[in-house]
A and B are shown apart, each in its own frame.
Chain A
Amino acid sequence: MTEAAPAARGFWADAWRRLRRNKAAMVAATLILLITLLAFIGPSLSPHAFDAIDWDHMAVPPGAPNDHWLGTDRLGRDLYVRTLAGVQISLQIGLLATLVSLFIGVLWGATAGYLGGRIDNLMMRVVDILYSLPYIFIVIILSTLFERGNIYVLFLAIGAVGWLTMARIVRGQTLSIKRKEFIEAALASGVGTPGILLRHIVPNVVGPVIIYATLTIPQMILFESFLSFLGLGVQEPQASLGSLINEGAQEMESAVWMLLVPAGFLVTLLMCFNFLGDGLRDALDPRDR
């Protein structure tokens, strides 16, 4: 946006400075970056494939004198490669579902808030009804809709119902800015409703949207792991953090590393995204400290 006033640039520069001063958020962001790099590059450093069975090394613990750096599972598959494959799936799905929910939620909330009146009532009523049902029910109903294993389609659908909170946040923001002078000015210069929504309302709700999106990613990662843990998500031989934790939990009496390795990665990722989200909130919304 070329016409952005200096004050607007100042806001983002300020936010960036505040974020950089937040140690927890910066450590979290660095860790997320490192884990992402590891997840996409790491598997090619190991001589093993994620589904290759090593008959000579079954259920060996990490650190044993062989090239399975984090040990193997009951079937002799390399846990380092499988866990990183799981992280890959988690990150991709977290991002995909968040983007979908972002898209729908922002448009829905902005439209409802801007148009107001009966349309607003109807649109928010839909949100209320979907809200009243535990989210996981919708997810489980949806999981019956798709061939099991096609996790990407499933998460497109989960993102498509995960937009409720986003819609509420955006609607609230829209209500507060739609009476401002610049909207009036746009109206007076003949901009149509879609133009006002996309060019004037949506750019002005970016702050809260970024914050909430950062907090949505770990939720979506958690949902994927949750579904895979229950056997409704990623199917064998594909690995996901959830399915690995499930396998690990069954073997924990004899092979505790099979639980601890994927659980460690999942917990680290979730904590990092939460800290980053909190940091962004403090940086972008200094009133709410």
Chain B
Amino acid sequence: MMLRYALRRIAGVVPTLFIIITLSFFVIRIAPGGPFDEEQALPPEIRANLEAAYGLDRPLIEQYGRYLAGLVRGDFGPSFKFKDFSVTELIAQGLPVSLMLGLSAVLLALLIGIPLGTLAALRQNSPTDYGIMSVAVLGIALPGFVTGPLFALIFGLHLRWFPVAGYEDGNLRFLVLPVITLALPVIAYIARLTRGSLLEVLRMHFVRTARAKGLPERQVILRHALRPALLPVVSYLGPATAFVITGSLVVETVFGLPGSGRYLVQGAINRDYTLVMGMIVVYGSLTLTLNLIADLLYGWLDPRVRYD
């Protein structure tokens, strides 16, 4: 049953991705302006030659067909602005940094958020609880482009604990502040979710039973209460990855990291069609896949979920 559900969900990703690709392809092409709009207008002949070289003079539907054919072969086409680079090369360069950043942020958020939320729930309505929850409100409300520069200011410029910006391969110190900036709202959200659902679970009968049969409180929490209480956190992991991907655009800009997020922004500013498309395909499939994994994980953890 589970397997069939999993297969159906996996099969559902492909048409969704196809619709996303098709829609974004045509929307981007309808946009006024193009990659060859420079401050100084190009002579019409040169412009025509350039457009012919990139196949932009063909009918839109033919360009679309070619793009899809390229995609199947893993070829995202050439970048219009970063001459001599293919979009595939650009993304392959930046993606490892972005993935490392995002993954570390989600892991950190789980490692800190769940214990904080548990602590707040166990000490409900104590100063500890209020303290943690106030910080969580702040963490959710503050955007990364405010906290990022502030962290750089405090921990980079004044305390000199970590570098303010930049990146060196293999030197993790450069990733500390970006990862914390990216993880902060996720930590806050996970802490809130964990607290809320643990409070609910603790009121349930099976917890009372576990206590009644004389289990130490530690075991009641860790073995019985926490597992069902973490289900909402698991289903939040899908949106969380989308959030982290979005946040990495800002964090990479603030801290000058050579990730792939900045290509989406630069591509949009420069009307670099293929670069924007490439980013949408890669990040879109990434989000869809991670959402899928989170959903399947949820079904695996919660025996009450039925597949129809």
Contact = CB atoms under 8 A, between A and B. Distances in A.
Interface of A: 129, 132-137, 140-148, 218, 222, 225-226, 229-232, 242, 245-246, 248-249, 252-253, 256, 259, 263, 266-267, 270-271, 274
A230 B20 contact: no
A176 B210 CA distance: 37
Give 4 closest A-B pairs by Cβ, nearest first: A249-B149, A134-B242, A136-B246, A229-B145
A141 B280 contact: yes
22 contacts: A132-B287, A134-B242, A134-B243, A134-B245, A137-B284, A144-B276, A222-B143, A226-B143, A230-B249, A230-B265, A232-B269, A245-B146, A248-B149, A249-B145, A249-B254, A256-B153, A259-B150, A259-B153, A266-B143, A267-B146, A270-B142, A271-B141
B2 interface: no
Given A222-B143, A226-B143, A259-B153, A144 B20 contact: no
Interface of B: 16, 19-20, 24, 27-28, 30-33, 137-138, 140-143, 145-146, 148-150, 152-153, 157, 242-243, 245-246, 249-250, 253-254, 264-265, 268-269, 271, 276, 280, 283-284, 287-288, 291
Contacts of B148: 249
For chain A, what secondary structure do more than half of its interface residues adopt (helix, strand, loop), or is it mixed?
Answer: helix
Given A246-B145, A274-B140, 11 more contacts: A129-B16, A129-B19, A132-B291, A133-B284, A134-B242, A135-B242, A137-B24, A137-B284, A231-B269, A242-B145, A249-B152
Contact of B276 (A141, A148, A230, A252): A141
B265 A263 contact: no
B141 A134 contact: no
Contacts of B276: 140-141, 144
Contact of B28 (A141, A231, A248, A263): A141
Contact of B288 (A132, A146, A148, A252): A132
Contact of A225 (B20, B30, B145, B288): B145
Contacts of A245: 145-146, 149
